[in-house]
Structure 1
Amino acid sequence: MLNRYPLWKNLLILLVLVIAGIYAAPNLYPEDYAVQVSGTREAYTVDSALMSRLEQDLEKAGVAYKAAELNDGTGLIRFADGDAQLRAKDMIADELGGNYVVALNLAPTTPEWLSDIGAGPMKLGLDLRGGVHFLLEVDMAQAVGQRLDVYVSDIKGQLRDERLRYRQVEHLDDGRLSVRFADAETRDQAEDLLRGNFPEFLTETDDTEEGNFVYINLSEQTIREIEDYAVKQNLTTLRNRVNELGVAEPLVQRQGRNRIVVQLPGIQDAAAAKRIIGKTANLEFRLEAKPDESRANTEVYPFRTTPGRTAELERDIIITGSNVANAQASFDENGQPQVNITLDGKGGQMMSRVTRNAIQRRMAVLFVEHKSRMVEQRVDGETVEKRVPYTEKGIISLATIQSTLGNSFRITGLESSQESSELALLLRAGALAAPIYFVEERTVGPSMGAENIKMGVTSVQIGFALVLAFMLLYYRVFGLLANVALTLNLVLLVAVMSILSATLTLPGIAGIVLTVGMAVDANVLIFERIKEELKNGMPVQSAINAGFSRAHTTILDANITTLLAAVILFAMGTGPVKGFAVTLSVGILTSMFTAILVTRALVNLAYGGRTLKKLGL
């Protein structure tokens, strides 16, 4: 029968709309302002007694709170507004001191039954939800210097394998490597070997009273490749580190030659966020120095957990944390924390090559942290503060090698299970190829986000109301049906964005506003085609059918063209541009569904199967 959908199609459309309504529903439940409390170490746990004490302190101070919860050793106190949250955070931090981490947070209020089926609200971007923004700088000089240190070990290994005796391999302050030999013949053989095995080297020779030297420089192209690799590796490491810690929808992207932008929506505590991403820990594996070894080839380092205890280690690095393929925290047979290490292929080969000739010697695991501090300097007669980078190194393990080590072994001597878990996480996420320093940090408060959301919602409401009024006044009954479909389109759009866990930004709200205006285009085309067919004398039911059928091609052409533009924006753009492209793309697809299928279903229900001489259009 003309203009009648079969029952199954009506039920299918209804099912889609019901599911959309369910998955859009969590967005009706705004998040609570909250303060999260957790211990810095295993000895400092958050339990019910501590939470009761905090609740009593809040009540005495007159700070109203909604609820207090304890989940897996982490306390969460909810508040009705941001002012109470900030007051409570300062008060709790003063009460607990430095043994606990007190962080601002936003806690979900989605009903449990919706969460159980995987329904959750849209994630909000930094401009809407608030959070922290960091600008990090990669130390390019250190990136090249660390690679040169690795080359020192590689060169020594190559010369030993070829039985070419050398006196010293040294990383000079001017960025060159120096290899000293006792005679010119051995020097020339070594130079040929190094040129063949290391094509990136530029070599020159020099003969002095101190010996015969080969000086090694890196080509400009190699230096650029090292610097580019350092930034890319740090990008990957930071993304992995943030993802491991469960930060929702972070933005980690390169800016310029040596800088990285990190945005963490929803995190309001800049100090806690810096602790998450700013940890620049790495490992170095070195052999303990022999008693008769030259002090020029050794360095003395302290133990991290035993004040006053030191050990003398060889300068040569066997492998670093960059050779770690996997790391898992666990406990040894005595219940002490440890980290089980799995090396990549290259790391396993290097570890095996060194340890097979070092049985019964001790190998140290050196924990390396790159930090920076503010120091006062006199410049033009004035005292100014300048951030100066420095490196801390401490031994966490010094164990005897019982047999040749391969790809798998374990690290012991850690202070606590929290330290082993953190070390395993950092190694698993990947080592930083070069130190990074915080150049800029900003906290985007929730009040700014709330204002942006309010303005965005207002713009959607105004645009929506104007479109509804126009359609109703111009197309009357058909306009009313189109307005119902437009409302359902918004519900469907929000549901799809929520299911896809897409991040809504301020440009994304602009995409919704644009979608509202574009969503009725298809209906306008259909209704105008129906009016045209009626003017040509076609019967009412035939005109309705022709209007929907013949407008499909034009609708598809228009929407596919816009969809392609949105896809290009997503592929080429970054950050806010991608947010706009995602919202626009989803809006195009949902508007085609509602404008063609849903509107047709409503028109069929209102007019299908009836004998009509006139149409209210």
Structure 2
Amino acid sequence: MKNKSKITFIISALLIIFCAYALSSGLILGDYQISSIGKALKLGLDLKGGVYIEEEIVDKNVDKDTINRTKELLELRVNNLGVSESTVVLTNQNRIRIEIPGIYDAKKALDVVGKTGKLRFVGPNNDEIITGDDVKEATVGVDQRTNAPVVQLKLKDSGAKKFAEATSKYVGKVITIYMDDDVVSAPQVNEAIPNGEAIISGSKDIEEAKRLAGIIQSGALPVKLQAATVKTIGASLGSEAIPTSKKAAVIGILLVMIFMALYYRIPGLIADLALAVYIMLTLLIFVGINATLTLPGIAGLLLSIGMAVDANVLIFERIKEELKLGKSLKTAIDQGFSRAFSSIFDGNITTLIAAFTLNFLGTGSVKGFALTLIIGVLCSMFTAITITRFLLKSFANTGWIKNTKFYGA
């Protein structure tokens, strides 16, 4: 029994240390590479910089399906910019928040996402040939002869027939693409296009081709939008906040670990291992749910790290009381966890109620703080009740240290 407990504890401790190293520094194992958790985390605009836009729906009495369709079209337009980690969310019934990291030209972003009118292909005689409803797909490609970026256009059956007739009629002339009254592009017809598949050349670079393809692909929005808020956020805040936050986190975690080890001795060292599990689990959940880490979120994370040891403190104080009553180590551990559970549960439930309220009623940075707090509280309950208990009981069963003074008595 003791040998089994020794092996279990050693393997568990080494596994926790290995995982902590792999996630903090990254690891290469042959052809496989594990990225550090810092690279995998999605950072918000306040840390990475970019463009923040809030579009307000001007039309009245718009149904939910139309709002969701508008949001989907905006997402498509933003994605066609070629920007990763962008965010498009509904903030309330008539506003849509758009966050585009890495792009610092707010006018360029508005030009792409703010076009709300009708997409039309117009001939030289000012006759409407097809509309955005006739477009099936618009993608970016490369001309094999010139290696220049082009937009590859595929039309629906209804549009293909009309487009074939128009291109046969207007060979050598220009077909202008409009979004409302704005000219999006004016390509020349070089030959008749009978199959509904056309190539639009003339883009100066790949970014211009992406922009054109995005506007054509997403077509017109079903409602009229008005930019309520437009902000350009530089990366200077992130460059200052991230190193400072990392330093604060390292110092805070080390101080907590040192205090736990000195005051509670063996249980404190066990709690330090459980705290490492807690931090890894919390960050992995953030990556897993694709959550965006903001500056208030970092504050919530640092706060939750301090709160993570609260449950352990309650448990260890109960264990100390049981040991002072003369009970055996194993009995004291079991009863310490059992008697501390109700206090841990009540305390965390009240915190969760407040955090869920903030997340439900709050906006922006408040939601980021609340989400971090919710994840942190749930993870701390799990690690305290399961991980700490498992490690502490495994160590006690090894028989390495039987003197109850090393357990806080």
TM-score for both structures, normalised by structure 1: 0.52
Secondary structure of the equivalent of 2:73?
Answer: helix
Secondary structure of the equivalent of 1:313?
Answer: coil
Match of 1:240 among 70, 76, 94: 76
Structure 2 stretches of 5 or more lacking a match? none
Matched, 1:391 2:182: yes
Partners of 2:266 and 2:358 lie apart in 1 by 37
Contact map agreement 2:118 2:219 (CA 8 A) in 1: no
What's the counterpart of residue 22 of structure 2? 22
Change (3 A) 1:422 1:282: farther
What's the counterpart of residue 310 of structure 2? 521
Counterpart mapping for 1:162-177 below 5 A: none
Contact map agreement 2:8 2:394 (CA 8 A) in 1: no
Partners of 2:319 and 2:238 lie apart in 1 by 45
What's the counterpart of residue 283 of structure 1? 119
Partners of 1:245 and 1:115 lie apart in 2 by 31
TM superposition shift of 1:602: 4.5
Partners of 1:496 and 1:256 lie apart in 2 by 26
Matched, 1:531 2:325: no
Counterpart mapping for 1:350-499 below 5 A: 365-369=175-179, 391-392=182-183, 395-396=186-187, 409-412=196-199, 414-416=201-203, 418=206, 421-433=210-222, 441-453=230-242, 456-457=245-246, 460=249, 464=253, 467-468=256-257, 471-472=260-261, 474-498=263-287
Matched, 1:250 2:41: no
What amino acid maps onto 2:309 in structure 1?
V
TM superposition shift of 1:327: 2.4
Matched, 1:339 2:129: no
Change (3 A) 1:534 1:393: closer
Contact map agreement 2:54 2:227 (CA 8 A) in 1: yes
Secondary structure of the equivalent of 1:396?
Answer: coil
Partners of 2:382 and 2:396 lie apart in 1 by 20
Contact map agreement 1:282 1:367 (CA 8 A) in 2: no
TM superposition shift of 1:540: 2.2
What amino acid maps onto 1:411 in structure 2?
A
Contact map agreement 1:510 1:580 (CA 8 A) in 2: yes
Deviations 1:318-346 (A, max 9, x none): 64224534223457998895623243xxx
What's the counterpart of residue 43 of structure 2? 124
Change (3 A) 1:17 1:439: same
Change (3 A) 1:556 1:506: same
Contact map agreement 1:508 1:583 (CA 8 A) in 2: yes
Q: Between Structure 1 and Structure 2, which shows a larger proportion of strand residues?
A: 1
TM superposition shift of 1:498: 4.1
Secondary structure of the equivalent of 1:537?
Answer: coil
Counterpart mapping for 1:51-200 below 5 A: 116-117=33-34, 119=36, 120-136=39-55, 140=58
Secondary structure of the equivalent of 1:531?
Answer: helix
Change (3 A) 1:521 1:230: same
What amino acid maps onto 2:60 in structure 1?
R
Partners of 2:219 and 2:14 lie apart in 1 by 48
Change (3 A) 1:426 1:15: farther
TM superposition shift of 1:402: 8.3
What amino acid maps onto 2:267 in structure 1?
F
Aligned pair count reads: 398
Secondary structure of the equivalent of 2:201?
Answer: coil
What's the counterpart of residue 612 of structure 1? 402
Greater RCO structure (CA 8 Å; 6+ sep): 2
Secondary structure of the equivalent of 2:402?
Answer: coil
Partners of 1:505 and 1:320 lie apart in 2 by 41
Deviations 1:467-519 (A, max 9, x none): 44653554344334323432453344334434554321122122213212321
What's the counterpart of residue 313 of structure 1? 126
Change (3 A) 1:322 1:115: farther
Contact map agreement 1:482 1:520 (CA 8 A) in 2: yes
Change (3 A) 1:413 1:24: closer
Change (3 A) 1:581 1:14: farther
TM superposition shift of 1:130: 2.6
Contact map agreement 1:285 1:320 (CA 8 A) in 2: yes
Change (3 A) 1:601 1:124: same
Identity %: 36
Partners of 2:32 and 2:46 lie apart in 1 by 25
Change (3 A) 1:560 1:349: farther
Partners of 1:505 and 1:359 lie apart in 2 by 51
What amino acid maps onto 2:197 in structure 1?
R
RMSD over aligned Cα atoms? 4.7
